[in-house]
Amino acid sequence: MWDLLLKNAHVVDPLNHVNEVCDVAIENGKIAEVGKDLQGKAEEVIDFTGLVLQPGIIDSHVHLGRMWGSPYGPKMLAMNGVTTALDMAGPLEDVLDSVPEYGVGINMAILQFASPPFTFKTNAPSKEEMETLIDKSLKDGALGVKLLGGHYPLKPDVSSLLVRTALEKRAYVAWHAGTSEHGSNIEGMIEAVAMADGYPLHLAHINAYCRGAIKPCMEETAIAIDLLKKNPNIFCESYVSPKNGTRLTCDAEGKIQSKVTGNCLRHFGFSEDRDGVRKALLAGKAFVVFDAGGYSDLMTGEKALKMWEEADSDVGGSFNINPPLPRIELAQARRDDGSFVVDAISTDGGCIPRNVILSQGLSLVKLDILTLPEFVQKTSLNPARMLRLENKGHLSVGADADITVYDYATQKPMASFIEGRKILWNGELVSKGATVICTKHGKEAIEKRGMKAIVVDPGKQIERIPAL
Ligand SMILES: [Zn+2]
């Protein structure tokens, strides 16, 4: 007797070469069987005729910390069919503290930001300061650390030392390219790849370095692809939304604090200060992220300006800064061995309103840029491997029963399950809490908070698999 039998969906599981209408049986939170017309009995039988069923969507770049928008990140992800997310900045405490009230049962891995002026005092912390931050973050339940170089840069050699120090600790390390020398652009990307010096690194949102800041955007895209092909130690994602996520904070002198915001203002012809933000908001070019009552949304114009002024400029923001063609090229580019140059499709969403893996990512399939199995590989199998989650990203017998079901025509999620438990059901979120993907050092802290921990070893080597 199975717990759950999901019938008649178009099941797409690239690792097991399944791409047809069949049934999925679940028992004790694991996949029990996948096949045509399964005849066994089940506690509950659900008919998914006409819908696509894939291993749970894993968004490998999101933000859950309320400083980036709101505490509704988990909810906004789950409403869009995501079952597992990699948070790319924390703050760790804030993300974990929000779970009892705002958790909706999804899996999350959290990278603590290693950034001045927040977790480092200066842009040149000592190795000892780095070790202290990494040890504490892992012990508190982080999977690793994130360099927010594009926004809050460190010096280049310091960034390089931080990557190596994190790897010595077997922590996950991701970098939003940029240092005190180079910005969040193709030059910053070239520098970050050089600074990684052959060591494994998750380089965040490749599309962000191909916005045409230095050269025409398609030239930058070609450089980025070539660089990634030559440096297979770099694992990465690229997102599909035109919108970015940043902060609109100005310092006491009225200068913009985030370098990314500065780039965006410059791109649209505004000055990189308080006056520039004011004008960009009035011109409909800059957006503020605001709490729309249970989810966050974007606003521009006079009302947004008022909100920004009332918050003394300290709010999350967004610009429509990503041109379309680089996003498409980065989604489809292959290596000589057939594997993807950019491992995963992400959103940089979460509490920033652009959780568009289905609503925009599936368009890549409709445009013949990816096949449906390739889409699944980039939204589940590959990111599972990046997170060293051996039991996720596929529907092998014994794998975790994490599943996303959607309507291909409307690109809308219809249901999701994590370890056989309903998460999104009848348009509502029906679960609570969170499972946290952490290292062995953080298991105790996570369990103390009453959450389930999945322990992985980010120091473990991963092999890329060809497009399936
Ligand atoms: Zn991000």
Cα separation, 455 vs 383, in Å, equals: 16
Q: Is residue 420 part of a domain?
A: yes
Q: Residue 426: what pLDDT? A: 95
Cβ contacts of 132 within 8 Å, gap of 6 or more: none
Domain around 106: 57-242+322-386
Last residue of a domain, one of 354, 386, 418: 386
Are residues 156 and 251 located together in one domain of the fold? Answer: no
Q: Which residues surround ligand 1, an ion (CB under 5 A)?
A: 88, 348
Q: Is residue 311 part of a domain?
A: yes
Residue 46 CA, ligand 1 centroid: distance in Å: 36
Are residues 50 and 61 located together in one domain of the fold? Answer: no
Are residues 258 and 304 located together in one domain of the fold? Answer: yes
The model's pLDDT over 35-60, given as tens digits with 9 standing for 90+, comes to: 999 999 999 999 999 999 999 999 99
Residue 417 CA, ligand 1 centroid: distance in Å: 26
Exposed / middle / buried, residue 466 (Cβ in 10 Å: 0-12, 13-18, 19+): exposed
Residue 112 CA, ligand 1 centroid: distance in Å: 12
Residue 449 CA, ligand 1 centroid: distance in Å: 26
Are residues 42 and 179 located together in one domain of the fold? Answer: no
Cα separation, 139 vs 92, in Å, equals: 11
Q: Which three-class secondary structure string do you get for 122-150?
A: CCCCCHHHHHHHHHHHHHCCCCEEEECCC
Residue 411 CA, ligand 1 centroid: distance in Å: 24
Q: Is residue 76 part of a domain?
A: yes
Q: Residue 457: what pLDDT? A: 98
Q: What three-state secondary structure class fits 17?
A: coil
Are residues 234 and 274 located together in one domain of the fold? Answer: no
Residue 184 CA, ligand 1 centroid: distance in Å: 12
The model's pLDDT over 193-214, given as tens digits with 9 standing for 90+, comes to: 999 999 999 999 999 999 998 9
pLDDT tier at 117 (50, 70, 90 boundaries)? confident
Q: Residue 347 belongs to a domain with what CATH number?
A: 3.20.20.140
Q: Is residue 326 part of a domain?
A: yes
Q: Residue 88: what pLDDT? A: 96
Residue 61 CA, ligand 1 centroid: distance in Å: 6
Residue 116 pLDDT greater than 90, yes or no: no
Residue 365 pLDDT greater than 90, yes or no: yes
Q: Is residue 447 part of a domain?
A: no
CA distances from 322 to 13, 84, 213 (A): 30, 25, 11
Q: Is residue 467 part of a domain?
A: no
Are residues 45 and 6 located together in one domain of the fold? Answer: yes
Residue 122 pLDDT greater than 90, yes or no: no
Residue 300 pLDDT greater than 90, yes or no: yes
Q: Residue 259: what pLDDT? A: 86
> Which structure tokens are listed for 376?
């699944």
Residue 77 CA, ligand 1 centroid: distance in Å: 14
Residue 62 CA, ligand 1 centroid: distance in Å: 6
Q: How many domains does the chain have?
A: 3
Q: Residue 245: what pLDDT? A: 86
Q: Is residue 172 part of a domain?
A: yes
Residue 458 CA, ligand 1 centroid: distance in Å: 20
pLDDT tier at 450 (50, 70, 90 boundaries)? very high
Are residues 49 and 70 located together in one domain of the fold? Answer: no
Q: Is residue 460 part of a domain?
A: no
Are residues 200 and 343 located together in one domain of the fold? Answer: yes
Q: Residue 152: what pLDDT? A: 85
The model's pLDDT over 150-180, given as tens digits with 9 standing for 90+, comes to: 788 899 999 999 999 999 999 999 999 999 9
Q: Residue 1: what pLDDT? A: 93
pLDDT tier at 69 (50, 70, 90 boundaries)? confident
Residue 244 CA, ligand 1 centroid: distance in Å: 8
Residue 87 CA, ligand 1 centroid: distance in Å: 8
Residue 122 CA, ligand 1 centroid: distance in Å: 21
Residue 344 pLDDT greater than 90, yes or no: yes
